[in-house]
A and B are shown apart, each in its own frame.
Chain A
Amino acid sequence: MLERFAKKIGYDDPLEVYLSKLQALVYGDYPLSRRSIALLLLQEDKDVLDLIKDKEKERLDEILKIVGEAGAHYSHPLTYIIGQRRQEEANRICDAAISFKERQRVTLRERLSKVLMNPFTGGPILLFVLYYGLYKFVGTFGAGVLVDFMEDKVFGEYISPFMINLVKSTLPFKLLQDLLVGEYGIITLGVRYAMAIILPIVATFFFAFAVVEDTGYLPRLAMLIDQLFKKIGLSGRAVIPMVLGLGCDTMATMVTRTLPTKRERIIATLLLALAIPCSAQMGVILALLGDNPLGLVVWLGVIILVFLVVGFLAAKIMPGELPTFYMEIPPLRLPHLSNILRKTYSRLRWYFWEILPLFIFASVFIWLGQITGIFNVLVRILEHPVRWIGLPSEAGVAFLFGFFRRDYGAAGLYDLKKAGLLSGNQLVVASVTLTLFLPCIAQLLMNIKERGMRMGMVMSVFILWFSFTVGYLLNIILTLLNLQL
């Protein structure tokens, strides 16, 4: 249908000559017209060049020669020449079809946009968004009210007892009973964690994120933060995966694909794995330190410091192209509830099916680890670094589980806190170390998938070492300063 309306944009004579020469040399079968292929060749599009190398082997030299000649004919790159001509044509069409009313007054929307982009008002607004969007809505409502309801009522009173009874009465083997409904069973741990803890937290986060996204706030935040992010080797654009990381680091690591250079992708992946706590983790850490505001401040301060220092050093060490920042600033819009719900739902559905198997896998793994005794060995190994940072050996279990889900680990600490085994200082040191500690297994797999086996492993070893070093130093500093948090 569209072809009827398709109109060729004519270029100037020499370019048309080169185009027709190229078109005559391109024989292969392509999803695009031969003219489009020729145009992309002239613009030295990498993907099309690769395609040509494959499909036009015999004529490759000739094709490249013509591309070279065409480039030499013009004093500007051909992308520039072609882009300019297309713009001309687009303007011609728009001028004939669109007219703009002369606007006299500055609208409220424009004023609000200015306020958001002003560094003096933008900062407080960011704090406001983080406080209400993240802390109040996701932290207090999602990780508090909803999780309590799901965990204590839905699972605690109905699903778990029912399933435990069902399994115990139908399955006679203790080993299999443990696998399904034991302390770390698939249903009692895996499914319960996925449905009762992760689901409400991530659902509220995705909802808040969709609201922020649809208003057009994120590009404005990106332009505010660009100069700071340049110092850590990223551009303002990276603010999107970073904010998303506050919801789920695994998902955010996947979103680092949208960053333009490899260098930015590596730095962003490292910072996400190390210093961006995901919402599930934050939920439990808020529960750990919620009654200890000073401890919360120290935790936040250390995490922010680590984020900046590691980013700064990574930017110094990493070779490669420096980031540039360019982004469209769309007009501010009032989000539509239906769009937000649809977005939240589709992300949640995708996310849930993505992580549920991982939870089940983690449960099976823990079960296997326990019956074979591997876990006891690992826990005993981990007890050493745990003691170095001034924690009781029991916290070793929390760190091991922290690897399967970062929030498992925090939840393990929560049990220790309830039992009165941890002092204020120990809680802060443990929270810091656990936040920095190896990403959860899902994120580790994602790191390897996105960054390759070597880079993924190097990062993990660095993080393992670094998290305990920071915990160790923090413990010493707190002791030396004689601070009791």
Chain B
Amino acid sequence: MLSERAEEILEALWIQMEEQGKKQLDLGASRDEPAIDELSRLGFIRKDLDHIHLLEKGKAHASGCIRRHRLAERLLTDVFYVRKKIIDEVSCKFEHLLHKGLEDNVCTILGHPKVCPHGKPIPSGRCCTEKKEKRALKFVARLADLDVKDKGHIAYLQTKDRSQMQKLISIGAIPGVSIVLLQKFPSYVFQTGQSQFAVDKELASSIYVRLTK
């Protein structure tokens, strides 16, 4: 198993290359770290004179790490109400506990979130594309995946573009608001506060609800 430090380096590499578009990285201060050697021994990275290159094998492993890190952030914010300021610190530790198998359960509990609380994308896992939903415990789920009469509070919105977001905000579907699903077919009808609204499946899939009993 990879050391925590090695995983952190791998994540940092992945973010810089995949999300910030850099090709290679300066070795810099981490030149002599044992974690670097550990990674290159496993074939995750290639090291030349001053640079590190992330290899395919490393990329796959790194995206798994990122997924666990960001799922951990979601879990801590949406279910455990950890304060935003310390989220980063806690989830760095937490992610190492979420190993294969466990991460998909967490993902399901959270309603297969697509972004972390900072708005960065969460790489999707096998559980997100599988059609059959295990009836695992749900804490957070998309409105479209709820059963009729399920209630809760809106945890967050995740829309494909700004105009969708504006539509939801304009009908008062805003995080923190209490919500009940009244009907699923032929359109989704929900109640927030004293008002009822009908939306289509796409918008209903953009509203993530923290369920209450």
Contacts and interface: CB of A to CB of B under 8 A. Distances in A.
B198 A223 contact: yes
B192 to A, nearest CB: 10
B211 interface: no
B203 interface: yes
Contacts of A331: 196
B119 A76 contact: yes
A369 interface: no
Contact of B164 (A84, A114, A324): A324
B125 interface: no
Contacts of B199: 324-327
> At the interface, is chain B mostly helix, strand, loop or mixed?
mixed
Interface residues of B, number: 33
Of the listed residues A76, A219, A227, A330, the one surrounded by the most CB atoms of chain B closer than 10 A to its CB is: A76
A44 B202 CA distance: 24
A236 B164 contact: no
Nearest to B171: A326
Contact of A223 (B162, B168, B171, B189): B189
A317 to B, nearest CB: 22
Interface residues on A, range: 20 to 34
A227 B203 contact: no
B175 A236 contact: no
A227 B187 contact: yes
Contacts of B43: none
A325 B204 CA distance: 10
A80 B183 CA distance: 26
A79 interface: yes
Nearest to B173: A326
B77 to A, nearest CB: 12
B176 A87 contact: yes
Contacts of A230: 200
B186 interface: yes
Contacts of A75: 117-120
A219 B198 contact: yes
B65 to A, nearest CB: 20
Interface in A236-292: 236
A224 B187 CA distance: 7
B186 A226 contact: yes
A204 B162 CA distance: 43
A83 interface: yes
Given A84-B174, A329-B198, A324 B167 contact: yes
B27 interface: no
A451 to B, nearest CB: 22
Given A88-B176, A223-B187, A328 B197 contact: yes
Contacts of B117: 75
A328 to B, nearest CB: 5
Which of B119, B169, B187 gathers the greatest number of chain A CB atoms within 10 Å?
Answer: B187
Interface string A70-99: 000001110110011001100100000000
B157 interface: yes
A80 B200 CA distance: 20
Interface string A304-323: 00000000000000000100
Interface string A213-237: 0000001001111110010000110
Contacts of A84: 174-176
Nearest to B190: A329
B23 to A, nearest CB: 24
Contacts of B164: 324
Interface string B17-50: 0000000000000000000000000000000000
Contacts of A222: 198
Interface string B109-125: 00000000111100000
11 contacts: A76-B119, A77-B165, A79-B169, A80-B169, A87-B174, A226-B198, A227-B187, A230-B200, A324-B199, A326-B167, A326-B197
Interface of B: 117-120, 157, 162-169, 171-172, 174-177, 183, 185-187, 189, 194-200, 202-203
Given A84-B175, A227-B200, 16 more contacts: A77-B162, A80-B174, A83-B169, A83-B174, A87-B176, A87-B177, A223-B186, A224-B187, A226-B186, A230-B200, A325-B187, A325-B200, A326-B198, A328-B171, A328-B198, A329-B189
Interface of A: 44, 75-77, 79-80, 83-84, 87-88, 91, 100, 114, 117, 119, 219, 222-227, 230, 235-236, 321, 324-331
